[in-house]
Structure 1
Amino acid sequence: MIIETWLPKILAASGSLAAGVVLLAGLSVGARFAAISASAMCDYISPAADQPRSPQSRKTPPRTAIGVCAELLSGQQPTETAAGTGRGMIAAQAALRMRGIPYSWGGGGPAGPSLGIGRGAQTRGFDCSGLAEYAWAKTGARIGGDTSVQWKTGIHVPRSQIRAGDLIFFAYNTANPATIHHVGIAIDAIRMVHAPHTGSTVRIDTWAGVPSREREFIGAVRPR
C-alpha cells in the first residue's frame, strides 16, 4: 500500500477549535496553540474536487483554520507542551516540505522520494506510506514502509486528541485493519498532508467532515 495560498489570521486558540471548524469536523481539540508570526505563510487546501462535501461542510467559511499549519511551516519551536508533541511537529514539518513532489506507487522512504514500482516505476516521488515513513524518519523513528506495519508502530489515540504528526488511517472496512489502504500525516484534527494517488502530488487536504474520508476513517496512531 504501498492553491490556494493565504495569510492565516493570527490566532491564540486554547481548549477547542473555532466555531467554524467545529461545524466542519464536529469535534473539539484539547491541545493549545500559540499565536504565530504574521509573516508565516501556509497552504490551505479545501476537500479535493473528487471528494464530495456534505451540506454542513459547505457552509463552513473556506478560510477557517487555526494557525498550527503556519507555525509548522515557520520552523518555530513547537508551542504544545504535551509529551511527544515535539517529535510530531518535526514529522509534520518534514512532510509539509515535500508538498509538490509527485505521487509514485511504492516510492519514497527514509531517505526521501524515490522511483516507485509498477505504475510508479518511472516516477520519483512518494506513495502515502512512503511519505509517512520519510516524515517520521526525520525524528529518528523507524515505522516501516507499509500501512499494515505503520498501524502497529505506536499508540492509538482518540480522535479528539489527534495532533500534528499523528498518522491518520483509512480502510475499506473500518472493522478490519487488514483493509487499510491509505495514511496521511496530521497537521491538526481537521487536515492532513498526504500523497493521495497516481497523478497527484503531496498536498494538504481536509479530511474531517468529508463524507468519503469519514466513512473510511479507522483511527490515528502516534509513533513511539
Structure 2
Amino acid sequence: MIVETGLAPVLAVAAGLMGGVVLLAGLVGGAHLTATTMCDGSSPAGRTTSPCGSDLHPVTGLAGPERGLVAAQAALLMRGVPYSWGGGGPDGPSLGIEHGAHTRGFDCSGLAEYAWAKAGARVGGHTSSQWNAGVHVPRSQIRAGDLVFFALDPARPATIHHVGIAVDATRMVHAPSTGSTVRVDTWAGDPYREREFIGAVRPAVADAAAHPAGRR
C-alpha cells in the first residue's frame, strides 16, 4: 500500500492514462492515496525485490501534459528502489557500474530515462543528453514530468550533476545518492538545491530518435 499526501492527482490521472489501477480516497485538500499498480504484483511496503518496470508499457497518442503525467507516475512507482551508480535504463532498474556494480537500482539519470521511456520518449542515459532532450521551460511553468537539473555552477551546463523528475513546481522524484532510495523531495526553497538549480527541460517526443540511450 502507498499512502501519500498531495500526490494523488498526479498518480490518479496518469494511472488512468496508463491503464493502471488506482483507488482514491478524499481527493479534496490533503488527499490520501492507495495504489496497487506494481509490476511485480506486490505493494511497495511489502516488496522484497525491485519492480521489473517492463510491464508498464510505453504509451502513444498522448498530448504533452499527459505524457508528463505518465513519466511522473512511472518514476513515483519506483519509490523505494535502491540508488545504484550507473544503474537503470528504459527497461527499469539494473545493476550499476563501479561502486554500484552489486546494487540493482537507478541513478538519477537512469530513473529519468526510465520514466520518459514509459511516456514514449528517448532522453538518453546521461544528464548531458537529457539537458538537450527537449524544450527548456521557465521555472514558473514547470509541470509534472519535466526534468529538473542541478549543477555545481549554474552558469555552466557542463557541470550538471543531478536530475529529478518534477511532481509539481516544487517537488521532484529522484534517485539522490549511494545509500539512498528513489524518493520524493521538495527542492524549491531548499538552500542547497536553490544554489545549484540550473533549469528544467520538457522532453520532446518528436525528437526521440535523435537521443539514443547512453551510459553514464
TM-score greater than 0.5 by the shorter chain:
yes
* 1:204 match: 184
Structure 1 runs (4+) deviating above 2 angstroms are 4-11, 36-40
Paired residue total: 165
**Residue 38 (1) aligns with residue 50 (2):** no
Q: Which amino acid is 2:122 matched to?
A: R
* 1:118 match: 98
* 1:164 match: 144
What is the aligned-residue RMSD (CA, Å)? 2.8
Structure 1 residues 221 and 70, CA, compared in 2 at 3 Å: closer, same or farther? farther
* 1:16 match: none
Cα deviation digits, residues 53-77 of structure 1 (max 9, x gap):
xxxxxxxxxxxx876x969x698xx
Cα deviation digits, residues 5-54 of structure 1 (max 9, x gap):
5555999xxxxxxxxxxxxxxxxxxxxxxxx94257xxxxxxxxxxxxxx
CA-CA distance at 1:173 after TM superposition: 0.3
Structure 1 residues 96 and 6, CA, compared in 2 at 3 Å: closer, same or farther? closer
Structure 1 residues 101 and 174, CA, compared in 2 at 3 Å: closer, same or farther? same
Of residues 159, 181, 186, the one that matches 2:161 is 181
CA-CA distance at 1:164 after TM superposition: 0.2
Overall identity of the aligned pairs, in %: 70
Of residues 119, 130, 142, the one that matches 1:150 is 130
Separation (CA, whole Å) in 1 of partners of 2:86 and 2:75: 17
Separation (CA, whole Å) in 2 of partners of 1:10 and 1:125: 25
Q: Which amino acid is 1:38 matched to?
A: A
Separation (CA, whole Å) in 1 of partners of 2:127 and 2:133: 10
CA-CA distance at 1:199 after TM superposition: 0.0
TM-score (norm 2): 0.70
* 1:98 match: 78
**Residue 85 (1) aligns with residue 72 (2):** no
Native 8 Å contact 2:144 2:168 kept in 1: yes
Q: Which amino acid is 1:92 matched to?
A: A
Separation (CA, whole Å) in 2 of partners of 1:206 and 1:191: 4
Cα deviation digits, residues 89-108 of structure 1 (max 9, x gap):
00000000000000000000
* 1:138 match: 118
CA-CA distance at 1:189 after TM superposition: 0.4
Structure 1 residues 6 and 136, CA, compared in 2 at 3 Å: closer, same or farther? closer
Cα deviation digits, residues 172-205 of structure 1 (max 9, x gap):
0000000000000000001000000000000000
CA-CA distance at 1:139 after TM superposition: 1.3
**Residue 194 (1) aligns with residue 174 (2):** yes
